[in-house]
Structures are given as C-alpha cells and as structure tokens.
C-alpha cells in the first residue's frame, strides 16, 4: 500500500506542477532576475503548492496514523500559507518568521512534539524541563530556514530534500517507526516528481511555498523519528541535514567575520562558491547531491556504530567539512585556519 501511495504522489506531482506553473503566471507569483540570482528570465514560483498537493493526495491514499499527525499537518498548512504569501507579495522577514513560529508552535502544542530529554554517554539523562518547548521550536525554525537558504539553483533544494527524506526513510525502517517511514517516503516521491520540472534548466521554482514546507516537514519528522533518545541518535538527523546546516552555519560565521547582520543576503553560499570555482550550474547541483548522499550514508553508519566509533566518525567528518569549507571559501576567502596549520606543520 505504501508503494501505491508513493506512486500516486509522484504522478500527482507531475500532473499538478504544470497547472501550478500556469496559476503562478496568472496571479503574478513570479521570480524576477536580480544581482543575487543566477537565472536571467522571469520564472514562475510557488511550485511548492504542487509538492504539497501531491503529498496530501498520497497521504490520504495511505492515511498513516500517529498521535502527532494532526498537529503536524495543521502546522504544514500554516507554513504553506506563509510561503504562498511571500511568493505572492514578498512579505517581510519578520512576517515570515511569525508564520514559522505559529507553525512550529502548533506542531509542539497541538501535535505534542517536544524534545524532553536526551541520554548523554558517560553522564546519563539530561532533562530539558521548561526549555523543551523553546529548543523544539528553535530546531523546527532553524531547519526550515536552512532548506530555504539552499534554494538558490535549479533543482538544488528539491534534490537535497529528496535525498534527505530517503535517508530518513531508511533510518525510520531500521528504527521501526511506521508513520515516519510512510510520511517521508510519500513526501520524497512528491518532491521527486516536482524535480522533473525543477532540475536545470528549470521550468518552475518551488519558491518559499516549497522550501519552507519541505524544511518544516523534514524538521518535524526528524524530531518524530529521533526524539527522546541518546545524544548519538539525536545527532543522526543533524548529519542527514549536513548540507543545509553546514551552509547556514558557515553563512553565519562569514557574516560575523565581515561584521554584517546575520540575516544579510549575499552570494557566498555553497552553490555560489562552487560556481565561482568554475563548475557549471548542473555540475554544482550534482556535486551537492553527492555531498548530501555522503551525509546520508554517514548517518546510517553512525547509527550502527559504537559510541567510540561514532565519536571517531564525527571527528573525521568535521575535519573533512572544515577543509572543504576553507578550500572553496564558504566562510570567506581569508578563512583558512586548518589549512594554515597544515602548512605550518609541513614547514
């Protein structure tokens, strides 16, 4: 039955996307070129409506049940409306954040989704107490915006989200979480169908409608699959989301170093850096897909490792990420502490 729901969602996405393209042009939900964007023509956005519609159709075919489902879906509708308003009217950052706060708040309060505690190796259980709700809301908003920030090239956010969702499906199978398996698989099929129209050269953008929706769903489903367990299991979704989280983290580092506001836009995200190195649009997207797959594989290996094996894997990953960041200039062209250290040791 799951495969039927996935097939229905995939087909619905392919059918709905051209209809959303026409609607976007008709109502003026279009993306115009500017100095920060790589496309040179007016493009329809709001493609996330097709992903959301396809997901809901597939979801209704299977109807997976869970005590958190209603709150999560109501939050999803709120995030879709927030993205739709931004695609239509280009609302302020504060208004977008307000919509995200409401959606996250619904998922937490109505959906009952909270990180109450984690078990730390060698130390035992750490209860979050009154901080459980703020921590959960910060996680949801943080991941939502991380997916939103990588939506800068044709097919990038849709492809990375699909890879992340597939990784989450595999992990949910290993952990026996039927609801997360069903929901992530249907959402992955919906995003994959949209990718046929969104991969370079794109015919439509997902817009904030899509990136906020995918980010929100990935955030809440990751929590639902890995909450209230060991710190090791809580790190698993962080590894799966390595691409958007790393890009967001080093964007903050870059802006602090340059004494710019953290929310200031720029052209130094991961995809911009790879384009500057000399890779083509399609090559850049495929390279980032490859990185996302590596993070997904690492998450699965991490879940099966011993505590010390997991620690070694994390250290190796952090060193590799830092070297990659310094080589491509993701944190700024003059940010090379590890490379400088290697050169000093070499002398």
pLDDT at res. 121 = 57
Query: Is the model's pLDDT at 120 over the cut of 90?
Result: no
Please name which of 69, 22, 68 lies closest in space to residue 49, comparing C-alpha atoms: 22
Give the DSSP per-residue string, 67-82.
TTHHHHHHHHHHHHHH
Q: Is the backbone of residue 326 left (phi > 0), alpha (psi -120 to 50) or beta?
A: alpha
Q: Which of 137-141, 224-228, 328-332, 337-341 ranks highest by mean pLDDT?
A: 137-141
pLDDT band at 347; cut points 50, 70, 90: low
Angle at 30 between CA 43 and CA 274, to 5 degrees: 50
* C-alpha distances in Å from residue 161, one per residue of 61, 198, 240, 263, 317: 22, 13, 10, 22, 20
- Dump pLDDT digits (tens) for 236-294: 778 888 888 888 888 888 888 777 777 666 677 788 888 888 888 889 999 999 999 99
State mean pLDDT over 127-131: 78
* Mean local confidence (pLDDT), 12-30: 93
Domain residue spans in the chain?
A: 2-346
pLDDT tens digits along 183-222? 999 999 999 999 999 998 889 999 999 999 999 999 999 8
pLDDT on residue 117 = 67
CA distance 304 to 316: 16
What does the pLDDT average to over 135-161? 88
**Neighbouring residues of 232: CB distance < 8 A, sequence distance ≥ 6:** 121, 302, 303, 307, 310
pLDDT of residue 211: 93
Contact 267, 34 (CB under 8 A): no
pLDDT above 70 coverage of the chain, percent? 90
What is the rounded CA–CA span in Å between residue 252 and residue 88?
28
Which pLDDT value is given to residue 42? 82
Percent of the chain whose pLDDT exceeds 90: 38
At 19, phi and psi to the nearest 5? -70, -40
pLDDT value for 73: 95
Q: Judge whether 159 and 195 are in contact, CB under 8 Å.
A: yes
Nearest CA to 160 among 282, 295, 7?
295
Ordered DSSP codes for 43-59: EE--THHHHHHHHHHHH
Asked whether the beta carbons of 241 and 121 are under 8 A apart, the reply is no
Mean pLDDT, the chain, integer: 85
């Amino acid at each position: 039955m799951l495969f039927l729901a996935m097939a229905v969602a995939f087909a619905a996405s392919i059918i709905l996307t051209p209809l959303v393209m026409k609607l976007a042009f008709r109502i003026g939900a279009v993306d115009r070129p500017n100095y920060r964007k790589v496309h040179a023509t007016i493009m329809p956005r709001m493609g996330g409506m097709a992903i959301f519609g396809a997901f809901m159709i597939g979801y209704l075919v299977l109807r997976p049940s869970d005590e958190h489902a209603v709150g999560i879906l109501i939050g999803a509708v709120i995030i879709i409306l927030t993205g739709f308003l931004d695609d239509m009217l280009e609302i302020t950052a504060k208004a977008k954040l307000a919509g995200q706060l409401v959606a996250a708040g619904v998922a937490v309060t109505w959906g009952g989704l909270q990180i109450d505690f984690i078990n730390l190796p060698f130390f035992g259980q750490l209860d979050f107490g009154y901080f459980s709700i703020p921590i959960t809301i910060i996680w949801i908003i943080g991941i939502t915006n991380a997916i939103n920030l990588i939506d800068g090239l044709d097919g990038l956010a849709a492809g990375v989200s699909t890879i992340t969702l597939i990784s989450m499906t595999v992990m949910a199978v290993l952990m026996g979480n039927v609801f997360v398996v069903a929901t992530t698989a249907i959402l992955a099929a919906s995003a994959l169908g949209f990718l046929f129209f969104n991969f370079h050269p794109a015919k439509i953008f997902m817009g904030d409608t899509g990136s906020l929706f995918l980010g929100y769903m990935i955030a809440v489903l990751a929590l639902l699959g890995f909450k209230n367990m060991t710190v090791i299991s809580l790190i698993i979704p962080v590894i799966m989301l390595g691409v958007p989280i790393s890009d967001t983290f080093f964007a903050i580092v870059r802006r602090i170093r340059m004494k710019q506001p953290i929310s200031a836009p720029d052209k130094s995200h991961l995809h911009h850096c790879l384009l500057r190195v000399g890779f083509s649009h399609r090559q850049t997207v495929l390279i980032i897909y490859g990185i996302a797959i590596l993070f997904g594989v690492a998450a699965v290996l991490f879940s099966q490792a011993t505590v010390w094996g997991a620690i070694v894997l994390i250290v190796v990953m952090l060193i590799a990420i830092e070297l990659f960041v310094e080589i491509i200039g993701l944190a700024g062209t003059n940010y090379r502490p590890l490379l400088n250290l290697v050169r000093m040791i070499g002398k």
